[in-house]
Amino acid sequence: MSIEHLQLEMMPVGPDMSPLAELQGLRSVSVNSRQAWGALRDLPLPSGLQALTLVPSTLSTSSLDGIERWPGLTKLHLAADTDSRFVPDELRKLVALHELNELDIDLAQISRLAELRLPPLPQIQSLHLRAEVRSRIDFSELLEVFPNLRTLSAQIDHRSFTTLDADVSALRAVPASSVTIHLAGEKELPSGSKVKIHDQRAPRVPLTGKPPVQEGVPGSGIRPHPGAWFRSVLYRRS
């Protein structure tokens, strides 16, 4: 009997993981380790993987070098700590994964994707993104990299910056999917900081969940009707 699915939780420091490379029947691996196994290219995992999940402490470097070792991956989940997120330029290494359909990743920042001239990744239809931004988010730039998205979940971290502009109008191009945008860190901003969302029509997709209630923002916490206009939301700490 061969093992197809393997989940390792809270692996202690010390055990030799190299025998995993001999499990040629493995198709899905999830690793939560207390020690770094090394870079992706060093992981002792067979080439036939279809799904790979790694938590922050598993990798010793924020690089996708070696990801081509698993050309049949359909799902890739790479979580990272705040100070070890992947830089967006690493995304170009996913071009080799023609079967990759679902990507879950932490990126360092996504404010200037157009400047990187990243190659499109049309094979990816589901994107779960956690990223930091500088001062603006243009989702049209994101859709140039992921032109065939059907599901997008984005958690935006802007704790280090005083102003955030998010233009979500491009998300109308994402058909029949759930789009959830989380803007985190408002309460940590210094006095006088603001979070602003530009006016535009709501994307023609079902919205999931209930937005958080924000102090001082009338109507926050209420999910808008899909055909309604987004109002400018201004959050200012006094």
Domains and CATH numbers, the chain: 5-236 (3.80.10.10)
Please classify residue 126 by burial: count the beta carbons closer than 10 Å to its beta carbon, then call 0-12 exposed, 13-18 middle and 19+ buried.
middle
Residue ranges with strand state E in 168-219? 179-184, 194-197, 200-201
**DSSP per position, 197-215:** E--EEPPSS---S-PPP-T
Euclidean distance between CA atoms 109 and 130, whole angstroms? 9
Is the model's pLDDT at 170 over the cut of 50? yes
Is the model's pLDDT at 216 over the cut of 60? no
Residue 192: pLDDT band with limits 50, 70, 90: confident
Euclidean distance between CA atoms 190 and 162, whole angstroms? 8
Kind and range of the H or E run holding 32: strand 28-33
Is the model's pLDDT at 212 over the cut of 90? no
Is the model's pLDDT at 227 over the cut of 60? no
pLDDT for the residue numbered 172: 81
Average pLDDT score over residue span 210-238 = 38
The neighbouring-strand residues paired with 7 are 30
Pairing of strands 229-230, 200-201: antiparallel
- pLDDT, tens digit (0-9, with 9 covering 90-100), for 117-162: 999 999 999 999 888 776 677 788 889 999 999 988 888 776 555 5
Question: Both tokens of residue 7?
Answer: 């989940």
Euclidean distance between CA atoms 1 and 53, whole angstroms? 23
Q: Does 233 or 73 have the greater pLDDT score?
A: 73
- pLDDT, tens digit (0-9, with 9 covering 90-100), for 74-94: 999 988 776 678 888 999 999
Mean pLDDT, the chain, integer: 74
pTM over 0.85: no
158: Cβ contacts below 8 Å, ≥ 6 apart: 132, 133, 164, 183, 184, 185, 195
Residue 208 CA, chain-centre distance (Å), reads: 17
Q: Taking the CB of residue 21, how many other CB atoms lie within 10 A of it?
A: 13
